[in-house]
Amino acid sequence: MGDSQFTIITTLQPIDAFEAAYQGQPAGVPIAFPGGQDEGVADDLIAPNLQKGTPVPFGAEIVLWIPFCAGFDADETLTEQYEYQVIWRMRNVRDFRQTRRPYHMPRQTAGVPDTGAVPSARSVIPAADWAAGRQAAPVYVTDTGTTLAEYSSNRIVPRAGNITAGPIGTDGVTQNTLTQGIFDPVAQPGIAGDPLFNPVFLGRAPGDEMIILARRVNQGGGNWDFTAAGAGSGIDFPFSNVYGTRDGQKTRARDVGIYVAAGTPGQSTIPIPA
């Protein structure tokens, strides 16, 4: 039972005719593998432009084979190469009820709604950003030089995602979102589709309970202040925006918080502590 066990290969491809859809678009607009919209687009709690994902077993080792795609000029000098960013997401129990896909979010309550042209409730489907070439011992997790999470003795400092635009959907125009139910895309269009979470492997638990203590890295005036953004805004308003009521501007979403999962991977896939 300690042997590595891997599934049959799944081939990921962009949307059909992606060349025509992306032609003339800014280079910061990513091409998604797999392309297209989520399979649950007919569900009233699923955003119609939620990006499609690929199911993987929670806690399993993932192996990617990415083809070499680069151009050479007349002097056989390398001209262009491509980088790939890995996004992780968790589905909820509603997904299992609708499509029988695996899930690890045990509830299907509504998160932060989409107040766009056609206002709609949105169930919580969180996404996380993690570098594909992560280190075996998670001391630093980086993506193109940007620190996503820092580990220093007993503290973890998450970093926001760096998605500037969503991948283009099957209509060749709409930009898909990677997550939903965390932020309102109308109130905060710049971050509503970004991954907000950082996966962190803590290793084996040394006890049967865990407590997480949150502190502000920059102590500032030394007091928590969650007042709304604007003139004289509190330094801790972002904390309220994620975990609380956005200074009374929204109802706190029951399923938005720190997610904890515990499991036992195969003997050959257990992370070795630093």
Quote the mean pLDDT of the chain: 74
- On whether the CB atoms of residues 51 and 177 are closer than 8 A, the answer is yes
pLDDT of 14 reads 92
In the block, tokens 């992606």 appear at 18
Residue 135: pLDDT above 60?
no
Nearest to 6 by CA among 59, 53, 87, 62: 62
Provide the pLDDT confidence category of residue 41 given band limits of 50, 70 and 90. low
pLDDT of 1 reads 47
What residue segments make up the domains of the chain, in order of their start? Answer: 12-210
Provide the pLDDT confidence category of residue 137 given band limits of 50, 70 and 90. very low
Find the radius of gyration of the CA atoms of the chain: 20
- Tell me if residue 71 falls in helix, strand or coil: strand
Residue 158: pLDDT above 60?
yes
Q: How far apart are CA 45 and CA 92, in angstroms?
A: 11
Q: How far apart are CA 62 and CA 226, in angstroms?
A: 39
Provide the pLDDT confidence category of residue 142 given band limits of 50, 70 and 90. very low
